């Protein structure tokens, strides 16, 4: 009679479980990263539409070479996903503010936390977490333009947010398919949490450098 694994030995992660677990583990950090203070950090305190576009473009421009490198170093569905994300980041950055994208920035929301990730599983987990963070922030950006009575930009950022969600879904689904053991699942959770932690470090350090208290959500 062959070995029958115990139920606890069978991986149970799916795309939704990964993100739900990440939200539960980093609820406070994600709530602050989706607050108006996160927009303030993104724009360097310049709360206007041009600054929102420029800050978003800089973040996307920083993501482009990371995902391009992952696409070149991968294969199969993961490489194809990273190639699609590379194109999405480049096109969106140019659409939002090409000049700002070319200028770059000293620190980034999620790009810094993605740099240096090795291995397909860790990269998929990091990508899924990064798109979760950006999706949460993009919801606040949509709200910014709604409040600014800029319907065209609000619709543009809604479309952007939808695309973020779709790429995040794809990354999380591929990740779940790659998790064959509980050790894989734990490694995926650790990689995702590290990205959220890196984004939260950006949030705290950016606001503190501007003389703003980061821990009260508004």
- pLDDT tens-place string over residues 26-72: 999 999 999 999 999 999 999 999 999 999 999 999 999 999 999 99
Query: 167 lies in a domain?
Result: yes
Overall number of domains in the chain: 1
pLDDT tier at 129, thresholds 50, 70, 90: very high
Confidence of residue 90 (pLDDT cuts 50, 70, 90): very high
Domain-located, residue 214: no
Per-residue pLDDT tens digits for 140-186? 999 999 999 999 999 999 999 999 999 999 999 999 999 999 999 99
CA-angle at 70, arms to 93 and 195, nearest 5°: 75
Structure confidence at residue 103 as a pLDDT band (50, 70, 90)? confident
Give the pLDDT of residue 1: 36
HSE-CB at 201 with a 13 A cutoff on CA atoms is: 12
In whole angstroms, give the CA distance from residue 155 to residue 15: 27
**In a domain? residue 217:** no
Q: What is the pLDDT at residue 4?
A: 35
Residue 217: predicted pLDDT: 55
> Is 23 inside a domain boundary?
yes
Residue 69 lies in a domain: yes
| Maximum alpha-carbon separation in the chain | 69
Question: Is 85 a residue whose pLDDT tops 50?
Answer: yes
**Alpha-carbon radius of gyration of the chain:** 18
Q: Model-level pTM?
A: 0.91
CATH code at position 154: 1.20.910.10
Asked whether residue 2 is assigned to any structural domain, the reply reads no
| Closest C-alpha among 145, 137, 215, 193 to residue 21 | 193
Q: Is residue 3 in a domain? A: no
Residue 8 has pLDDT above 60, yes or no: no
Owning domain of residue 49: 11-209
Q: Would you say residue 124 lies in a domain?
A: yes
Whole-number pLDDT of residue 215: 82
91 vs 98: CA distance, rounded Å: 9
Which pLDDT belongs to residue 7? 39
């Amino acid at each position: 009679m062959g070995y029958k694994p115990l139920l606890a030995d069978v991986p149970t992660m799916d795309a939704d479980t990964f993100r739900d677990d990440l939200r539960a583990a980093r609820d406070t950090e994600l709530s602050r990263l989706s607050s108006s203070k996160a927009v303030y950090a993104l724009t360097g305190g310049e709360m206007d539409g041009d600054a929102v576009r420029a800050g978003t473009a800089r973040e996307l421009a920083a993501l482009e070479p990371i995902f391009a490198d992952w696409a070149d170093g991968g294969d199969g569905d993961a490489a194809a996903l990273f190639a699609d994300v590379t194109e999405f980041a480049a096109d969106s950055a140019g659409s939002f503010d090409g000049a700002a994208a070319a200028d770059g920035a000293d620190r980034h929301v999620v790009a810094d936390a993605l740099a240096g990730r090795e291995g397909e599983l860790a990269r998929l987990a990091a990508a899924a977490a990064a798109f979760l963070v950006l999706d949460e922030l993009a919801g606040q950006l949509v709200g910014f333009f709604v409040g600014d009575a800029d319907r065209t930009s609000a619709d543009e950022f809604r479309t952007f947010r939808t695309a973020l969600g779709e790429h995040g879904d794809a990354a999380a689904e591929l990740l779940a398919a790659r998790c064959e053991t509980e050790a894989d699942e734990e490694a995926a959770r650790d990689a995702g949490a590290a990205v959220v932690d890196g984004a939260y470090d950006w949030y705290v350090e950016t606001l503190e450098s501007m003389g703003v208290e980061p821990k009260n959500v508004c």
